[in-house]
């Protein structure tokens, strides 16, 4: 029809487009280390035992009603405890405005829209590099973006001094997006001491910190430990925002279960902010999906299922950590002239390999290995079965 003749095909998504290309490749040798989705040592997606058990308990449920616009209050309360702590004073004092969201993406977008509406002149400082969809989210929310230094290519680590300069030079009261743990795509996190310095400088500059915590549990294997950056900021009195997701750490990818929370001055402000978050959700999707929220609540409210979940998260994190060591050692055994120390120094789901886009293209065309063109390797896709093949291919394109 002539209505849409001006519509051009959208560009391939830098991450999800890799999955499409992988699926389309008929080669039996193909390896997918693109999308950040956990795979077991057989390269298969995993449904956690705790989720299977929760499904059994929910089976036959006759409850199919709408959730409120803010989602499942029980799931939200249980989720806040993961981020703020079981005994958080902020939860007790009802100072947190929080709603269930369409996973982490939905939490980031709802916050970006809230920021646009209630801090209309503000912009957002986003790290270089970051999860590619962060730029889309704040762009579509029409919040202007700035960037701040984060990754140091020479050391493949954190460019802490440049980061602190950018924080210092930003106008007072700027909004910053921070990855709470397991930075995507670099796998580089500030140390606890560096987080403390960042928090102090944010205090001095009266900046707003928005934490995207999409991988709680995947950095260290311990969700409480992975929330350390958030706890430091809370101890220092910051009124922060947090995006949480159960996509990776509970394997609920397609269930789209997440949470957006904003720490407010007092209960009255929290009620007002929550009502406005609901007001934003209503014309967007009205209310969030039921099933995933019920799975999360069933698991987290039952001490046995929760401890099973904690064990399973650690197993996933430990498998990834083990693959880091194996990949690095395989590359070193091949006599690679490059240092691969960063493969084991970086943490979480991703390794920022340092491969150039051209080298990545060769891995795909010559070896049927799929990763994002920024050289990010989803370590979750690395298995004892493919790590040798992967190391050899990386060696061949980098020697
Ligand atoms: C930092 C960060 N925030 C939020 C999300 C959103 O996750 P939800 O599924 O909405 O909870 C991701 C997922 N990034 C992964 C997964 C694929 C994607 O959405 O890009 C990735 O980078 O491969 C992420 O890496």
Q: Which mutation among 126, 183, 184 tests ligand 1's pocket best, with the greatest number of atoms within 8 A of CB?
A: 184
- Please give the pLDDT value at position 178: 99
Distance 104 CA to ligand 1 centre (A): 7
Q: Which mutation among 150, 181, 242, 245 tests ligand 1's pocket best, with the greatest number of atoms within 8 A of CB?
A: 245
In the set 248, 274, 309, 340, the catalytic residue is: 248
What pLDDT digit, counting tens, does each position of 296-333 carry?
999 999 999 999 999 999 999 999 999 999 999 999 99
Judged against a pLDDT cut of 80, whether residue 70 lies above it is answered with yes
Name the band, by pLDDT with cuts 50, 70 and 90, for residue 260.
Answer: very high
Helix (H, G, I), strand (E, B) or coil at 36: coil
- Please give the pLDDT value at position 341: 97
Name the band, by pLDDT with cuts 50, 70 and 90, for residue 59.
Answer: very high
Q: How confident is the model over 338-347, as a mean pLDDT?
A: 97
**Catalytic residue flag (residue 195):** no
- Please give the pLDDT value at position 160: 98
Name the band, by pLDDT with cuts 50, 70 and 90, for residue 173.
Answer: very high
- Please give the pLDDT value at position 192: 98
- Please give the pLDDT value at position 351: 97
Percent of the chain past pLDDT 70, that is, above it, reads: 100
Q: How far apart (Å, rounded) are the C-alpha atoms in residues 168 and 213? A: 24
- Please give the pLDDT value at position 34: 96
What pLDDT digit, counting tens, does each position of 201-254 carry?
999 999 999 999 999 999 999 999 999 999 999 999 999 999 999 999 999 999
Name the band, by pLDDT with cuts 50, 70 and 90, for residue 390.
Answer: very high
Q: Are 72 and 297 in contact (CB under 8 A)?
A: yes
User: How much helix, strand and coil, in percent to the nearest 5, is found in the chain?
Assistant: 50, 15, 40
Q: Are 72 and 235 in contact (CB under 8 A)?
A: no
Q: How confident is the model over 136-155, as a mean pLDDT?
A: 97
Q: Are 264 and 95 in contact (CB under 8 A)?
A: yes
Judged against a pLDDT cut of 80, whether residue 1 lies above it is answered with no
Judged against a pLDDT cut of 80, whether residue 97 lies above it is answered with yes
Q: Are 100 and 272 in contact (CB under 8 A)?
A: no
Name the band, by pLDDT with cuts 50, 70 and 90, for residue 393.
Answer: very high
Q: Looking at ligand 1, which atom is closest to the CA of residue 183? A: 1
Name the band, by pLDDT with cuts 50, 70 and 90, for residue 27.
Answer: very high
Q: Which two tokens stand for residue 257?
A: 């279960």
pTM exceeds 0.95 for this model: yes
**Catalytic residue flag (residue 212):** yes
Q: How far apart (Å, rounded) are the C-alpha atoms in residues 396 and 130? A: 28
Q: Which two tokens stand for residue 299?
A: 């698991």
What number of helices (H) and strands (E) belong to the chain? 16, 13
DSSP notation for 296-323: HHHHHTSHHHHHHHHHHHHHHHHHHHHH
Pocket of ligand 1 (CB under 6 A): 15, 35-36, 103-105, 131, 133, 179, 184, 212, 214, 245, 247, 253, 258
**Catalytic residue flag (residue 131):** yes
Residue with tokens 């990754």: 151
Q: Where are the beta strands (DSSP E) in the chain?
A: 31-32, 96-102, 124-128, 145-149, 151-152, 157-158, 175-179, 208-213, 241-245, 257-263, 350-352, 369-370, 376-378
Q: Please provide the average confidence, as pLDDT, over all residues in the chain.
A: 97
Distance 212 CA to ligand 1 centre (A): 10
Name the band, by pLDDT with cuts 50, 70 and 90, for residue 381.
Answer: very high
- Please give the pLDDT value at position 348: 97
- Please give the pLDDT value at position 323: 97
């Amino acid at each position: 029809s002539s209505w849409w003749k001006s519509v051009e095909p959208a560009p391939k998504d830098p991450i999800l487009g890799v999955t499409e290309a992988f699926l389309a490749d008929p080669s039996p040798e193909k390896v997918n280390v693109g999308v950040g989705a956990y795979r077991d040592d057989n390269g298969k997606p995993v449904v956690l035992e705790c989720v299977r058990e929760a499904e059994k308990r929910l089976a036959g449920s006759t409850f199919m009603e709408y959730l409120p616009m803010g989602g499942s209050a029980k799931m939200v309360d249980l989720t806040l405890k993961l981020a703020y702590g079981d005994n958080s004073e902020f939860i007790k004092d009802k100072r947190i405005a929080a709603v269930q969201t369409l996973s982490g993406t939905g939490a980031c977008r709802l916050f970006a829209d809230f920021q646009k509406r209630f801090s209309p002149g503000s912009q957002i400082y986003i790290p270089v590099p970051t999860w590619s969809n962060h730029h889309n989210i704040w762009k579509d929310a029409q919040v202007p973006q700035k960037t701040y230094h984060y990754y140091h290519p020479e050391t493949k680590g954190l460019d802490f001094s440049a980061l602190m300069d950018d924080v210092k030079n930003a106008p007072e009261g700027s909004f910053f997006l921070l990855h709470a743990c397991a930075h995507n795509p670099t796998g580089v996190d500030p140390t606890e001491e560096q987080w403390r310095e960042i928090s102090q400088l944010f205090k001095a500059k009266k900046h707003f910190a928005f934490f995207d915590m999409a991988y709680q549990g995947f950095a260290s294997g311990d969700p409480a430990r992975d929330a350390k950056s958030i706890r430091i900021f809370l101890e220092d009195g910051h009124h922060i925002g947090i995006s949480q997701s159960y996509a990776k750490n509970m394997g609920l990818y397609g269930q789209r279960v997440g949470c957006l929370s904003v720490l407010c001055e007092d209960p009255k402000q929290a009620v007002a902010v929550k009502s406005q978050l609901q007001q934003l959700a209503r014309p967007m999707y009205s209310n969030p999906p039921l099933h995933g929220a019920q799975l999360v609540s069933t698991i987290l409210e039952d001490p046995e299922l929760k401890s099973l979940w904690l064990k399973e998260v650690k197993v996933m994190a430990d498998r990834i950590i083990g693959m880091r060591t194996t990949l690095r050692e395989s590359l070193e055994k091949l006599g690679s002239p490059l240092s691969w120390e960063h493969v084991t120094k970086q943490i979480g789901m991703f390794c920022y390999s340092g491969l150039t886009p051209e080298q990545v293209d060769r891995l795909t065309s010559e070896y049927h290995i799929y990763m994002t063109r920024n050289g990010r390797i989803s370590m979750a896709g690395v298995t004892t079965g493919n790590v040798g093949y992967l190391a050899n291919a990386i060696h061949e394109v980098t020697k």
